[in-house]
Amino acid sequence: MSEFNKKVDELRIVSFRIDTDTLFKLDKITLKTKSNRSEVIRKAIEQYLKNEIK
């Protein structure tokens, strides 16, 4: 199994509410980076956790 498939298999669905303005900003980032919302949110959470753990 490739690392990518292993990582995808380990993903879990998380649900939360987000205000309209933040969602609009998120959509602008997804268009700019040609990513999807999940990827952008996942990367933001990973970066946040790296900064918090230091």
Query: Is residue 26 included in any domain, yes or no?
Result: yes
Identify the pLDDT of residue 33.
94
- Which pLDDT score, from 0 to 100, does residue 7 have? 65
Longest dimension (CA), the chain: 40
* Domain boundaries, position 26: 16-53
The CA–CA distances, whole Å, from 37 to 29, 47, 52 equal 9, 15, 22
Does residue 4 belong to any structural domain of this protein? no
- One digit per residue, the tens of pLDDT, for the chain of length 54 reads 455 556 667 888 899 999 999 999 999 999 999 999 999 999 999 999 999 886
Q: Distance between CA atoms of 21 and 30, rounded to whole angstroms?
A: 14
Q: How many domains does the chain have?
A: 1
Domain-embedded: residue 10: no
Residue 33 counted as domain residue:
yes
Evaluate whether residue 32 is within a structural domain.
Answer: yes
